[in-house]
Amino acid sequence: MSLANAEARPKDLSMQPNIPAVQNPDNVHDFVHTGANTLAGRYLRRFWQPVYQAADLKIGWSVPVNMMGENLTLFRGASGKFYLVGNRCAHRGTQLSTGMVDGEGLRCAYHGWKYDATGTCVDQPSEPRPFDRPLKIAGYPCREYLGLVFTYMGEGEPPEMPYFPHFDGEGLVVSHRIVWPFSYFQHLENAIDEAHIGFLHAVSPYQGGINNEVPRISTEESEFGLVQYGSRSNGVKRATNYFMPNLTSWAQPPGFPAETDWRDMLGWRVPDGDHSHVTYTVTHAHLTLEHHEAFHAHRQKEWEDLAKMTPVEEIADDVLSGRMRFNDIPYRGSGADMTRIQDRIIMMGQGSIVAREHENLGEADIAIKLLRQIWSRELTALRDGKPLKNWARTMPPPRSGL
Ligand code: FES
Ligand SMILES: [Fe+2]
């Protein structure tokens, strides 16, 4: 292709070694295992991570949640604040999410032991005398931002929360949560793999349209992570931002008539376990106040209509098992939905953890190579007790257009 030959080949970023089947907590190339004793897990825990959508948990309710292999309980106190504690009562180990919210604490349903925001047991109603030793389960701080509940599961004082000023402007901010049955890292790599858009998603009839020309990919490290550029022959250079350690930011065509520009998107990929993850997507739609209500109604209807159709899990299973051809996937009325289904199938097709030793990365994968290099560099520093890169807490809006 002429574009590819126009410049010198990009600097070769060598492939990373294999991830061994047996986990080694010192393997600086293993980004997919995220338990508390793994390097990647320790690294992810140094950042605020979304754990729930705020609107999904009412005051006085508690739910079980999984974060990076840890089973936890999220509850919402009488004040409306969120708290994240362990999922096993320190008394005789029943599941704490079945307990009752009591003020700003949570009481176990079995014998009524009560836990505060830090996971400290502050009351044991069935005991005539207090214990002579502290009773504590896990407890992690929570904050709300962009409609999401964030938690900090690392050691010491939490860092500043990330902040994205372009989400403050006029417009509407909405979030969405989806569980995916494969490693979070596959999804992060997919998000900076613009070369797949013009092929995999070529049949997605996005409103506003996309340019299906396969772009020339370039990339560079930045103060917040990296930027992946997709250049096309019309001179348009689209940028996708990767915000360390597990957030990407891109622009997406509008899906509602009153929107005046492409949407600003944020997508966190948070492992619940090593073989699955949760995506928290935040959308900033550009539209004036008088259209907010109609936008909400439109969005609500879109999700309700989709819920009545064949579940995505079933479609994915049909395609992966050969009962349906990829090009026969039914269009369910939304380009964004079609894109999600297509992405789900190809990432499931990689296996729940991709076997990297069989990959052959090319020039179009240069951003993925750089991402792995950055991650390995940071995990090496973490392993060796050396200083880590101090990433910026914000990033500019991604550039739109294709
Ligand atoms: S098991 Fe929770 S109070 Fe007894
Ligand atoms: Fe995609």
Interval 153-183: pLDDT, tens: 999 999 999 999 999 988 999 999 999 999 9
Span of 166-170, 262-266, 269-273 with lowest mean pLDDT: 166-170
Task: Read off the pLDDT of each residue in 236-245 and give the average, rounded to a whole number.
Answer: 92
Query: What is the per-residue pLDDT for 204?
Result: 57
Q: Which ligand is nearest to the CA of 195?
A: 2
pLDDT tops 50 at residue 4:
no
Tell me the Cα Rg of the chain. 23
Task: Read off the pLDDT of each residue in 109-126 and give the average, rounded to a whole number.
Answer: 97
The amino acid that residue 29 corresponds to is H
Please tell me if the CB atom of residue 115 comes closer than 6 angstroms to any atom of ligand 1: no
Residue among 62, 85, 87, 91 whose CB has most ligand 1 atoms within 8 A, to mutate:
91
Span of 56-70, 197-211, 212-226, 366-380 with lowest mean pLDDT: 197-211
Query: What is the per-residue pLDDT for 208?
Result: 45
* Residues by chain with Cβ below 5 Å of ion ligand 2: 343
- Domains of the chain plus CATH, in order, are 57-141 (2.102.10.10), 162-384 (3.90.380)
Please tell me if the CB atom of residue 88 comes closer than 6 angstroms to any atom of ligand 1: no
Tokens in use for 369?
């190579």
The amino acid that residue 396 corresponds to is P
The rounded Å distance from CA 365 to ligand 2 centre is 14
Torsion of CA 115, 117, 119, 120, to 10 degrees: -60
Burial zone of 30 (CB within 10 Å; 0-12 exposed, 13-18 middle, 19+ buried): buried
Confidence of residue 116 (pLDDT cuts 50, 70, 90): very high
Please tell me if the CB atom of residue 121 comes closer than 6 angstroms to any atom of ligand 1: no
From CA 26, how far away is CA 39, in angstroms rounded? Answer: 7
Query: Is the preceding peptide bond at 162 cis, omega within 30 degrees of 0?
Result: no
Query: What is the per-residue pLDDT for 205?
Result: 54
The rounded Å distance from CA 364 to ligand 2 centre is 15
Confidence of residue 20 (pLDDT cuts 50, 70, 90): low
Task: Read off the pLDDT of each residue in 351-355 and give the average, rounded to a whole number.
Answer: 93
Confidence of residue 15 (pLDDT cuts 50, 70, 90): very low
The rounded Å distance from CA 263 to ligand 1 centre is 48
Q: Which ligand is nearest to the CA of 113?
A: 1
